[in-house]
Amino acid sequence: MAARSNARVMWRMLGLARPLAGWMVLAVACGVAGFCCATGVPVLAAEAALAAVGAGSLPWAFGVTVAVLAVMAVARGVLHYVEQRCNHYIAFKLLAHVRDLVFGALRRLTPAKLAGSDSGALISTVTADVELLEVFYAHTISPICIAVLMAAVMGAFLGGIHPALAAMALASYALVGIAVPVAVSRASGGEGRRSRDLAAGLSGFVLDGLRGLGEVLQYGAGVSRLEELDGRSEELVASQRKLRARGAAGQAATTGAIMVLSCAQMLMAAWLAGAGLVTAEGAVLATVTTFSSFGPFVALANLGSTLQGTLAAGNRVLDILDEEPLVAEVPGSEGARPGFDGIAAEDVSFSYADGSSADGASASGEKILDHVSVSVEPGQIVGIQGKSGSGKSTLCRLLMRFWDVDQGCVALSGTDVREVATSALRDAEAFVEQDTHLFHDSIRDNLLIARPGATDAELEAACRAASVHDFICSLPNGYDTMVGELGDTLSGGERQRLGLARAFLHDAPLLLLDEPTSNLDSLNEAQILKSLSDQRGRRAVVLISHRPSTMAIADKTYSMDQGRVS
Ligand SMILES: Nc1ncnc2c1ncn2[C@@H]1O[C@H](COP(=O)(O)OP(=O)(O)OP(=O)(O)O)[C@@H](O)[C@H]1O
């Protein structure tokens, strides 16, 4: 995580809220007016009581004072409501904006980012951390502004009675609104972070267990995993209990401090009145004002326990927004598909450097490809074979420009892919990786993602070529069957064929197929190889496979061994 001071994080977060500054001013204005009413009611009531016993005077008739009191009491409620509405409007607008920014950043950073990061932590940043920012936008900014303005209003009012009363009140506000929350925040900061890490670890452990349920059952690891689950949840509960105890101690300290400080103000007012420096009426009003004016500073004090967590969440979100992509997107107009005149890797060397692997294993910069040269002519079927781990899939990822080469160049139709508009590159190539991801959507929509405007006839032709049309027709709702309903019932081969149909539908001039037949029986394999052969001359294909029967259709074959090609 990048090191940013808390002030810097707050400043950056505030910067995001600039377009909603008008709403923020309205929220703060309503908050200040609301607290003025809240303090004004007891002060005016005290004034009226003093006037009634002849110890003070009222600017209006008694009846008018009662009416003003009623209006202020109602206004307090209305103003508080408007303030909260504004704050939540700002917060939810901004959350949508921040989510948009985060997804935009992820789009720029992928696929290298997703291959190289802990996806559990990433999901928690995209969801929980962004949610936490609601606290910042709805319950942090305006309370701070309101507290500062209320301190000025109260200071001016009490200063009008006697400067010493104003000084005492301002010092009390600073103690309640700044010193107490900072102390609570310091005390709970480490535990807050620990608690969040424990919660993230626990959900990761549960998810991992669910995904690997088959293995857990098969190897009888259920009891030990349950024991670990118990241990982790007990640790989390203990940490949360500690946090709550600290929060409660903070609240008790705040309430206690308010009582002591208000009493001190009362004693000072009494002393000033005794010394003839203020009137008895002034002393009473100053005391009532002080007792009833701590609301905005209590709101500030309540931030103490959440502020560290909110700022840490903001920091993680900013980390994603600030991260430089490993592969910079090349802008360019979408739509027109450029001609395809072959693709070539020329003397390419590559390593997954910069700690881009999930476990940081490749941070050592181990060379995966070492001066590799391959070329694919239009319409040609090129086979790539080699031992597991020799770099075949990596080569395809470089042809797709998921990563940039360290040395040499990948050229599409003679142009370095680093200069080809990313959208044009994606249009020119279709890549079927070893695992096909199917979205929780209908089979039709899962396929149309490759070409949204495709007709039913084109869809069917692609599925026939991938030898999956008959299977789809046998499903209860044919092409409209939901993949989610099928759950895990789709076999590896069926998923693989759907992935191929998607790529055929994309109709790119270059197809990169990573082990496209590994899960297929010989009948389906033969059908797909026939489809690929039929397209020979119309579409170039890079075919990675360990199967001699699949490699037999290649026009030329490269062999990879330890990052070198022959
Ligand atoms: N995202 C990544 N970060 C770091 N290292 C990686 C990454 N992806 C692959 N590797 C490493 O690069 C090497 C080559 O992997 P690659 O998947 O290209 O091999 P392959 O020849 O396609 O293997 P297989 O036939 O088993 O699919 C392996 O040692 C692998 O661990």
Give 393 Cα–ligand 1 centroid separation in angstroms.
7
What confidence tens digit (pLDDT) does each residue in 202-224 have? 888 888 888 888 898 888 888 99
Give the domains, in start order, of the chain with CATH numbers. Answer: 13-322 (1.20.1560.10), 379-406+418-565 (3.40.50.300)
43 — phi, psi (to 5°)?
-65, -45
394 lines ligand 1 (CB under 6 A): yes
Give 432 Cα–ligand 1 centroid separation in angstroms.
16
CB 541 within 8 A of CB 502: no
Q: Ligand 1 pocket: which of 117, 357, 396 to mutate (most atoms <8 Å of CB)?
A: 357
Pairing of strands 381-386, 540-544: parallel
CB 415 within 8 A of CB 346: no
393 lines ligand 1 (CB under 6 A): yes
Q: DSSP secondary structure string, 263-322?
A: HHHHHHHHHHHHTTSS-HHHHHHHHHHHHT--HHHHHHHHHHHHHHHHHHHHHHHHHHHH
Helix (H), strand (E) at residue 436: none
Give 451 Cα–ligand 1 centroid separation in angstroms.
29
Query: Which two tokens mark 287?
Result: 């005391």
Q: Which atom of ligand 1 is nearest to the CA of 395?
A: 18
372 lines ligand 1 (CB under 6 A): no
Crossing angle of helices 295-322 and 222-274, rounded to 10° = 140
Closest to 497 (Cα-Cα) out of 522, 469, 473, 455: 469
Q: How far is the C-alpha of 430 from the C-alpha of 535, rounded, in Å?
A: 15
What confidence tens digit (pLDDT) does each residue in 92-144 have? 898 998 999 988 888 888 777 666 556 666 777 778 888 888 888 888 888 99
> What pLDDT score was predicted for residue 355?
45
Crossing angle of helices 295-322 and 130-139, rounded to 10° = 140
110 lines ligand 1 (CB under 6 A): no
**So what's the ipTM on this one?**
0.96
Q: Ligand 1 pocket: which of 366, 393, 558 to mutate (most atoms <8 Å of CB)?
A: 393
Beta bridge partner(s), residue 540:
510
357 lines ligand 1 (CB under 6 A): yes
Give 385 Cα–ligand 1 centroid separation in angstroms.
14
Q: How far is the C-alpha of 182 from the C-alpha of 308, rounded, in Å?
A: 10
Contacts for 24 with CB less than 8 Å, ≥ 6 apart: 17, 86, 90, 141, 142, 145
The one-digit pLDDT tens for each residue of the chain (566 residues) are 567 788 888 899 888 888 888 999 999 999 999 999 999 999 999 988 888 888 777 777 888 888 999 999 999 999 999 999 999 999 889 899 899 998 888 888 877 766 655 666 677 777 888 888 888 888 888 899 999 999 999 999 999 999 999 999 999 999 999 888 788 777 776 787 788 788 878 888 888 888 888 898 888 888 999 999 999 999 999 999 988 888 888 889 899 999 999 999 999 999 999 999 999 989 999 999 999 999 999 988 877 667 777 888 888 889 888 888 778 778 776 555 567 888 999 999 999 875 444 333 444 578 888 888 999 999 899 999 988 888 899 999 999 998 899 999 999 888 898 888 888 888 888 888 888 888 888 899 999 998 888 899 999 999 998 889 999 999 888 999 888 755 567 888 888 899 999 999 987 899 999 988 887 788 888 888 888 888 888 889 999 988 888 888 899 999 888 767 77
Query: Which two tokens mark 564?
Result: 């070198």
Strands (DSSP E) found in 93-174: none
CB count within 10 Å of CB 195 equals 21
- List alpha helices for 362-491, DSSP H: 392-399, 422-428, 443-448, 456-465, 469-473, 483-486
Global pTM value: 0.69
Q: How far is the C-alpha of 352 from the C-alpha of 367, rounded, in Å?
A: 8
